[in-house]
Amino acid sequence: QVQLVESGGGLVRVGDSLRLSCTISGRTMADRTMGWFRQLPGKEREFVAAITCITGVPAHANSVRDRFAISRDNAKNTVYLQMNSLRFEDTAVYYCATRTGQVLSSSSQQYEFWGQGTQVTVSS
C-alpha cells in the first residue's frame, strides 16, 4: 500500500516563505516521478511542479516558476516544495502525488497515488 504524507502547510503572510514536505511509504521513490498540485474549493486541481526521482529533472508551472522550487531526497523518500515570495493567489490545499516512471506530467490523471493534502493560506 503506497501512502503519501504531506506536511509543512500553514498560515503565512504575503512575501513569506514556506517549505512543504511529502514522504512516500510502501514504495521506493527512486523509480518514480513526484508531483505537487494545488486546489481551491470548486476548482480543478492545478499542476504546480514535478520531478523525476532518478535524474532529478524538475518542471514548474509558469505561475510559480521563479518563486517555487521542487527537490527530492531519495534516501529519505521525501520530496519538497520550497515556496518563496508567497502571494494571496497561492492560497490552496496542496497535494503530493506520484506516478510510475520518469515522466514529467502536468496532468493529474496520470498520477496514481495522492496524499491527503495540506492547507496553505497566504494573508496580509
Hey, what's the torsion of the CAs at 25, 26, 31, 33, to 10 degrees?
-50
Query: What was the pLDDT predicted at 29?
Result: 87
Supply φ then ψ for residue 73, to 5 degrees. -130, 100
CA gap 69, 107 in Å, rounded: 19
Quick: pLDDT tens for 42-66.
999 999 999 999 999 999 999 999 9
- Smallest Cα–Cα separation from 63: which of 7, 106, 20? 106
Query: What was the pLDDT predicted at 44?
Result: 94
